[in-house]
Amino acid sequence: MKFIIEATDGESRAGLVYLKFGIVETPIFMPVGTHGAVKGIDSLELEKIGAQILLSNTFHLWLRPGLATIHQLNGLHTFMNWRRPILTDSGGFQVWSLKDLSQVDEDGVHFRSPINGDRLFLSPEKSMKIQIALGSDIAMTFDECTSWPISHSLAEKSMELSLRWARKSRDSFESDSALFGILQGSMYDDLRLRSLEGLENIGFDGYAIGGLSVGESKEDMFRILRKCMPKMPKKSPRYLMGVGTPEDLLNSVTLGVDMFDCVMPARNARNGYLFTKFGDLKLRNRRFKDDNRPIDETCLCPTCCPSNHGEKKIFYSRSYLHHLQKINEMLGAILATKHNLWFYLNLMREIREAIKQKKFEEFKRNFLLNRSRGV
Ligand SMILES: [Zn+2]
């Protein structure tokens, strides 16, 4: 993996990540295809709306369809017909979400399969093996997540275990793909910095901040980010896991984050919650019943602007989308998903352009102001 920083503006950076399946322009948003599918949108459509890299998940794909099936089809890229890079999460977070169904020891996590109750075991070594078999462009270290609130001593114990697992992940990762280390340490500054130091000593291609967005306040989240970001290696990509709203993305880019993933745009779309430059729009609201305008007049997504028919602008109206939501029609979720993902991907393109022109702060100010005005 190679990472080149093309431009900076303050702490924010525009860069290029060279991976096996292509080049990714940062800052980047990665749509989430946990089970090898981004809900409601297929791989070719994702390419069309400008997705450059997807996130998928070790844990879920290992359980179903299983490695043998994916291996037979030459890896996850071919299996899901996606020709660009893939980042795979290690499974640590998913095992953690099983809570009472899992038991952690020094070597890994024992748990019952949520699908059929089978006894299973996931370890750093096994997670690396699975991610290599999937053909991931960027693999993540196997880590332990913690809930919030948690005491300092328990968070410390967990962070140290994650560091030992990071070492095991590194040592057993026999692949030319990239491997990112994941910072833990909950909301404790000292633990976060120790986690970072430990990961740097091991050495990774990129560094992710994990364990945020687990129930803490926004203030806590940004306090941790402000503490960690200036100390993170400048020459490697920095990835903030599982965050967040458009505002979170902008505020994190200000601090120097390069990569994001979040289920929010696709999940909200399915519930009729749309993001626009002028604030958020809840499609199920009665006031859109007879609203013949597109979701956003300025949006060029396949829902607001499916094709160019000369003078006449073609689009799916708020009224039609409201109707589809009301009757729970699958098409409503599909059209909304395209819009929301396009909105996030386009936001990252605009951020990148603004950084290159050294106008990021101005762009951010205007963007936030417009969003606060409301649809
Ligand atoms: Zn749109």
Name the residue among 244, 338, 213, 259 with its Cα closest to residue 30: 259
Q: State the pLDDT at residue 95.
A: 86
- For 33-67, what is each residue's pLDDT tens digit? 999 999 999 999 999 999 999 999 999 999 999 99
- For 139-148, what is each residue's pLDDT tens digit? 999 999 999 9
In a shared domain, residues 255 and 321: no
Over 90: is that where the pLDDT of 97 sits?
Answer: no
Q: State the pLDDT at residue 350.
A: 98
In a shared domain, residues 279 and 221: no
In a shared domain, residues 188 and 88: yes
Residue ending a domain, choose from 209, 241, 262: 262
Distances (CA, A) of 359 to 7, 160, 237: 11, 41, 21
In a shared domain, residues 308 and 213: no
* Residue % of the chain over a pLDDT of 70: 99
Residue 342 C-alpha to ligand 1 middle, in angstroms? 7
In a shared domain, residues 321 and 225: no
In a shared domain, residues 88 and 153: yes
Over 70: is that where the pLDDT of 369 sits?
Answer: yes
Over 90: is that where the pLDDT of 374 sits?
Answer: no
- For 343-359, what is each residue's pLDDT tens digit? 999 999 999 999 999 99
Task: Indicate which residue of 9, 89, 248, 258 is catalytic.
Answer: 89
Q: State the pLDDT at residue 40.
A: 95
CA–CA distance, 205 with 256 (Å, rounded to integer): 17
Range of the domain at 330: 269-373
In a shared domain, residues 145 and 278: no
Q: State the pLDDT at residue 306.
A: 84
* Residue % of the chain over a pLDDT of 90: 91
- For 114-133, what is each residue's pLDDT tens digit? 899 999 999 999 999 999 99
- For 310-339, what is each residue's pLDDT tens digit? 667 789 999 999 999 999 999 999 999 999
In a shared domain, residues 73 and 185: yes
Q: State the pLDDT at residue 319.
A: 98
Q: CB of 202 within 8 A of CB of 170?
A: yes
Higher per-residue pLDDT: 123 or 93: 123
Residue 336 C-alpha to ligand 1 middle, in angstroms? 8
CA–CA distance, 97 with 184 (Å, rounded to integer): 16
Q: CB of 332 within 8 A of CB of 325?
A: yes
In a shared domain, residues 95 and 209: yes
Q: State the pLDDT at residue 311.
A: 65
Q: State the pLDDT at residue 200.
A: 98
What angle is formed at CA 58 by the lines to CA 56 and CA 62, rounded to 5 degrees?
Answer: 120
Residue owning tokens 């951020």: 351
Residue 302 C-alpha to ligand 1 middle, in angstroms? 7
| Mean of the per-residue pLDDT values of the chain | 96
Q: CB of 295 within 8 A of CB of 328?
A: no
Residue ending a domain, choose from 242, 262, 282: 262
Over 90: is that where the pLDDT of 79 sits?
Answer: yes
In a shared domain, residues 227 and 341: no
Residue 282 C-alpha to ligand 1 middle, in angstroms? 14
Q: State the pLDDT at residue 151.
A: 97
Q: State the pLDDT at residue 101.
A: 78
Residue 343 C-alpha to ligand 1 middle, in angstroms? 7
Q: CB of 228 within 8 A of CB of 209?
A: yes
Q: Which amino acid is at 239?
A: Y
Q: State the pLDDT at residue 310.
A: 62
Residue owning tokens 């100010």: 365
Over 70: is that where the pLDDT of 248 sits?
Answer: yes
Is residue 261 among the annotated active site residues? Answer: yes
Q: State the pLDDT at residue 213.
A: 87
Is residue 89 among the annotated active site residues? Answer: yes
Q: State the pLDDT at residue 375.
A: 83
In a shared domain, residues 291 and 169: no
Residue 345 C-alpha to ligand 1 middle, in angstroms? 11
In a shared domain, residues 147 and 214: yes
Task: Indicate which residue of 137, 205, 248, 261 is catalytic.
Answer: 261
Residue ending a domain, choose from 245, 262, 279: 262
- For 180-206, what is each residue's pLDDT tens digit? 999 999 999 999 999 999 999 999 999
- Complete edge-to-edge strand list for the sheet that includes strand 119-122: 102-105, 108-112, 119-122
CATH number at residue 127: 3.20.20.105
What angle is formed at CA 218 by the lines to CA 212 and CA 222, rounded to 5 degrees?
Answer: 70
Q: State the pLDDT at residue 309.
A: 58
**Domain count for the chain:** 2
Over 70: is that where the pLDDT of 94 sits?
Answer: yes
Over 80: is that where the pLDDT of 100 sits?
Answer: no
Residue 328 C-alpha to ligand 1 middle, in angstroms? 20
